[in-house]
Structures are given as C-alpha cells and as structure tokens.
Amino acid sequence: MPELDRSDSLTGPDTDNNGIRDDIDRYLLTIETSKEEKLALIQSARAFQSVQAANLNDDRELREISDKLVRGTGCVMLTYESSVAGSQANRKLQGYTANTRNRTRHYIKYNDLMDGSVTKLPSDVCDDIAQ
C-alpha cells in the first residue's frame, strides 16, 4: 500500500502539473505491468483526479469529466489481458485517489449529479497508446 497524501485539499499536491497527484504518480511508478497497461492507468488516474478538481456546479465540465472517466476506464479494460485484473487495478486507483473523507464526499457528490446520465463508449479510448 503506497503512502498517500491525506491533506484536506481535494486535489492534493501535483508539483509537476501533469494532472495526477504526486503520491499517485509515485504509486504508478511502482506497478509492475506492461508499458501499455501503465499508460492506460496514467490516463485513468488523470480522469479520477479531474473529478477532485471539478466545479460540480458546471454541467459542461461534469460531462467532460464523465467522458474522461469512460475513456480512462475503457482504456484500462482494453489494454489488460484480463478484465478482472484491469477492473481491480482501476478500482484500486479510484480508491487511492478518493482516499480522504473530503475526497470521497466530493466523488460521491459527482456521482450523484451524474446519476441517470447516459454515456456512449467511444471507439478511441486510449490517449497515448496506438490501438
């Protein structure tokens, strides 16, 4: 289990401004997986982090984040040989990102706002991987 940021900040530190919290970056460096799977997890981590940075009063932003989450999860599922392993890796990443009461509440509020929405899985789900 990685040492995670537990500050009150929703977003936490991201000193290199890559869209992923620094502790999650460090965790991703420790994962022993293929290059494609790691790139998929990086994409998914950015999507999970975007929820924490979201203005939950902006419907357009919520739809954009929903698209990022769908694409990130889709990419993880596409790149992992086993859908079970991909799902487990993605859920772990989600849990690590929403690792404090503040972050979990924000994530739950986002999901409540998106409840009932419909999203179509695009054919091009991976940002950094040739499909």
Tell me the residue range of the domain where 45 lies.
Answer: 22-114
62 located within any domain:
yes
According to the model, what pLDDT value does residue 131 have?
47
Ordered DSSP codes for the chain: -------S-SS---TT-SSS-HHHHHHHHH----HHHHHHHHHHHHHHHHHHT--TT-HHHHHHHHHHHHHHHHHHHHHSSSHHHHHHHHHHHHHHHT-SHHHHHHHHHHHHHHTT---PPPS---SSS--
According to the model, what pLDDT value does residue 118 have?
80
According to the model, what pLDDT value does residue 113 have?
96
pTM: 0.93
Give, in order, the Cα–Cα distances in Å from 101 to each of 93, 104, 107.
16, 5, 10
97 located within any domain:
yes
45 located within any domain:
yes
Report mean pLDDT in 10-residue bins for the chain, 131 residues. 94 97 97 95 98 96 95 95 96 97 97 88 79 47
According to the model, what pLDDT value does residue 129 have?
66
Q: What is the largest CA-CA distance in the chain?
A: 39
95 located within any domain:
yes
53 located within any domain:
yes
Region for residue 105 given its phi and psi (left: phi exceeds 0; alpha: psi -120 to 50; beta: otherwise) = alpha
14 located within any domain:
no
130 located within any domain:
no
Question: What total of structural domains would you count in the chain?
Answer: 1
